[in-house]
Chain A
Amino acid sequence: MNIDDRLRAASQALKESSVAQVDAASRLREIVRRTGQPVAHGRAAVLLDEPQESPRPLAPSLPPAAQPRRTPQRLALAVNLLLVLGLGILLGIVATNVQGADSTTATPATSTAPSPTASTIVSPQTKVQIQVPDACLDAQELADEVISRLNRNVRDQRLFAALRDYTIASQACRRAASP
């Protein structure tokens, strides 16, 4: 059999099979349902001049799909900035308190020295260890997690849990950091 005959035979077989296997009636009902118009019967049938909706391409173009995402992205950015700001303030408070605590503990040691500049002199061997409460470290980690999830737009149960834990940890941090 030559290629011409094979193509003709395959075409004929496909035509017959598609007529036998494709259910046109149910798809016709779908057209009616999608357009909300009754099926037109010939010349007398009046179809709408303007289509109710423009024909939907199989793959929607990017700009219309991208537009509605803009507002949530802005919101996520604002929340992120607030979180970072809050965390910065929190760490600032903690650092100030720790420094304050250090200077109060350092005063008796320096008071033994009569020099007026003694309070500002720190021995080169002395290392200042800033102790950050665990709750604050937790809060920081949780804030990072929340920011990361918001940036990836992953808004599920895990985000809710991280946000809840962050709130609890930041409150604990504030309690631990306050004198």
Chain B
Amino acid sequence: MGQDDGDQDERPGPTPEPFEVFYLREYPKVVGLLHGLLGSRLVAEELAQETFLIAYRDWDRISRLDNPRAWVRKVAINQRGSFLRAYLRQQTRERNATVRDQEDSIKLADDHAEVWQAVRTLPPLQAQVIALHYYEDYSVAQVATALGRAPGTIKAQLHHGRRKLARLLGAEMDRRSSR
């Protein structure tokens, strides 16, 4: 696990990557991450766009960072409280909604959609930890760096999050997966 090793980068070669190439590759993935957490494609795209806009304005510096890919994810889920507000709004909406808006979502098989819907019922930090760990393949240390928390906290959140999800989804809890 950990295709995105904290300080290492998967960028080829020593020269910074052009923004265009970086954007076209990373934008849909960031939208996917935010969509998994927020359940709304429109909100996810808006937050992702804001993040990449910030990156674009300072691309000369950000492109030289060790890991611009991790930087955009960190900014996307920490963006001035916008993420948290959107997350809490979405939780309320999902509790109250009887019919899901098909236009406002990335289409997934029911089984997978159900998993992400369950993730969105978790407290914000737990949901972020689960999303970064599974969707981004981040290790506990990388999640801790991205969220600015202690690795121990992340480990605990991961454990509690998995347990809650297992209960919600009626899935078997795999003890071996607890790290």
Q: Which residues of A contact B (CB under 8 A)?
A: 1-11, 13-15, 17-19, 21-22, 24-25, 27-28, 30-31, 34-35, 37, 39-43, 45-48, 51-52, 55-59
Contacts and interface: CB of A to CB of B under 8 A. Distances in A.
Question: Main secondary structure on chain B at its contact with chain A?
Answer: helix
Interface residues of B, number: 55
Contacts of B104: none
A59 B46 CA distance: 12
B116 A14 contact: yes
Main secondary structure of the interface of A (DSSP, over half): helix
24 contacts: A3-B166, A3-B173, A6-B111, A13-B108, A14-B36, A15-B29, A22-B27, A27-B49, A28-B27, A30-B49, A31-B23, A31-B49, A40-B59, A41-B19, A42-B15, A42-B16, A42-B17, A42-B18, A45-B60, A47-B58, A47-B60, A57-B80, A57-B82, A59-B82
Interface in B14-28: 15-20, 23-24, 27-28
A14 B35 contact: yes
Contact of B106 (A22, A27, A42, A45): A22
A51 B116 CA distance: 36
Contacts of A48: 57
B35 to A, nearest CB: 6
Contacts of A9: 111-112, 115
Interface of B: 15-20, 23-24, 27-29, 31-32, 35-36, 45-47, 49-50, 52-54, 56-60, 63, 79-80, 82, 85-86, 106-109, 111-112, 115-116, 130-131, 134-135, 162, 165-166, 169, 171-174, 177
A56 B50 contact: yes
A25 B86 CA distance: 25
A9 to B, nearest CB: 7
